Amino acid sequence: MNIGSFKSVNGQLLGSVATATIDLARLGLRPVESNNERAPAFEIMVLNVAKRWVQIGALWEMTSNSSGESFFQGKLDDPSLPEPLQIMLFGDVEEGYRVVWNRPAPRRENLDGSRTGRRSRASNADDFAGNATADGRVSDDQTADDYVPAF
């Protein structure tokens, strides 16, 4: 499900995320400069009520196993949120990014009491940006028909 977008404005990636209960109208992606290969690509910043930029998340660059497409994956987290919001960004700097969300399935316990890892609820593929394989990998037939109505 698409819940937001980012676009380049005067050399900065600015955007928003909105759901039924969350409206983050002023978000920014701040590039992370690091030699650590495990460092995120971006810090997710939000303009708070006092008009100060504060970090509420991070994004790591990932590559699709099936198509080789690059995308960003991370989460938004803040004490005001009931739980972290897992997100993915698809697109590029020139065209902009669309913010995609999918609810992960809860962990299940095995008969021996051990827990299984989280798995995508949609095992038949209609999650994230339209299609994904049963194991959660993004397929290569992505479409970007995002329409934001004028108000």
pTM, entire model:
0.69
Q: In the chain, how many domains are there? A: 1
Assess if residue 147 is contained within a domain.
no
Assess if residue 116 is contained within a domain.
no
Q: How large is the greatest C-alpha to C-alpha distance in the chain, in angstroms?
A: 56
Assess if residue 109 is contained within a domain.
no
Per-residue pLDDT tens for 6-50?
999 999 999 999 999 999 999 999 999 999 999 999 999 999 999
Assess if residue 59 is contained within a domain.
yes
Exposed / middle / buried, residue 73 (Cβ in 10 Å: 0-12, 13-18, 19+): middle
